[in-house]
Structure 1
């Protein structure tokens, strides 16, 4: 016969104990819930979380044995206090949780998860509106280059983009990766040189400067002996970025930004 919960136990406390018992099989089953029912709840809740994570992290899952993958997912389910009630945001919390884990094995796992989450996040996010004055074929030196509305530039120690393509890599290979969603709603990745990455950062920080001004700023940072030559080379780079969809076009440069 089941025990009766004390009338002094608040509903909130009962819910807390029930949730804790679902998340952690080591926790005692609440007195007013049968062990059989609790076992069903535990399996259903964990399998839901596991399914969401497996769909979001195909490359991470492929790099772990079934036992190690489920053990990692179980630790996350047991230890992590979620800040969102939405399942589609849970992969982001898992990626952030992995980055806080010391001595993670294999060591690239957290970066790989962050990369996969970045791809998913860009695919699912609503796109901000582009400038009304956008000129898709505008002059990239006279006008201010406009980046694709959804993008993310980040450093990685490992070649995670190649790992996701199935290459069996595990050594460090530092890269600056630009991820963006193109006009066909496809998330794409480009490994950038330090100069290209810095140019993207300058466009992000000063979105109303003309391409010419941005390239001259870059030349100044580099102490380039021939700034005009860098402008010429930079124009070719900007054109390549527009062809790939990284740049959506141009908008008028602000006064003093030309």
Structure 2
């Protein structure tokens, strides 16, 4: 007679891969079928709901084969249903071989990451007004003299495909020559939005988020001008000031904080 552990292992193996794994002999097949379908439908439903655009560009047979392979091959790091989307995105990132099949679009990994980001920002627990209070954000930002602060709910991303345009009617067949820069963010009204950006804005946000020396907004723009080898740094400062203001109006930047001076 099989032990409880053996039955459990056999049961879970069958649930994940009913076509290859043997069903436990001491469990009625009717009940096994119920559990088998219940598990698959729940997981497939969560994945489809989290990646609606991706689902719309993959035919039914290829989609269900992908979800089944995810169930068989991937070992989740989290038991929470809400995090299935992240686990599926990790699965796609770690399994490039299956994605070379003609049934799957060349942009599948990029699109899946983009859709996961939207969901991750939607469910993030950060409270932007409270964070602004905790960090001492100025009510009237001085973008050049003070230190700009970016929202933790604003992610600067770059893709080799224009993922924000992909859908059933537009499916690029090869990477773009130029990267698509996007800032995906959740605003103060808790709505997830995206903004098309460029390499300059993306680099500026990187400097704002990685600013251990607590430099002010002007110094960050001067560094940007130096990296660009621009002949007129003050022109970058002037243009950058407008970028700061634009990012602030859509809640990508929370504002500025006064830089503490040494005693």
- TM-score > 0.5 by shorter chain: yes
CA distance in 2, matches of 1:216, 1:227: 6
CA distance in 2, matches of 1:212, 1:255: 17
Residue 191 (structure 1) shift: 2.1
> 8 Å contact 1:209–1:254 — kept in the other structure?
no
Q: TM-score, normalised on structure 1?
A: 0.90
Match of 1:28 in 2: 22
> 8 Å contact 1:99–1:111 — kept in the other structure?
no
Match of 1:81 in 2: 75
SS at match of 1:99: helix
Q: TM-score, normalised on structure 2?
A: 0.88
Q: Does 1:42 align with 2:57?
A: no
Match of 1:235 in 2: 241
User: Please, which moves more after superposition, 207-216 or 119-128?
Assistant: 207-216
Match of 2:254 in 1: 248
CA distance in 2, matches of 1:245, 1:71: 40
SS at match of 2:172: coil
User: Please, which moves more after superposition, 11-20 or 227-236?
Assistant: 11-20
Runs of 4+ deviating beyond 4 Å? none
Long gaps (5+) in structure 2: none
Aligned length: 248
Residue 116 (structure 1) shift: 0.5
Q: Does 1:206 align with 2:211?
A: yes
Q: Does 1:121 align with 2:114?
A: no
Residue 167 (structure 1) shift: 5.0
Cα pair distance change 1:169/1:106, threshold 3 Å: closer
> What RMSD in Å do the two structures reach over aligned CA positions?
1.7
User: Please, which moves more after superposition, 19-28 or 216-225?
Assistant: 216-225
Match of 1:149 in 2: 152
User: For residues 14-73 of structure 1, what are the alpha-carbon distances to aligned partners after superposition, in whole Å with 9 as ceiling and x for unaligned?
Assistant: 322211111111200112112222111110100010111111110011001112111111
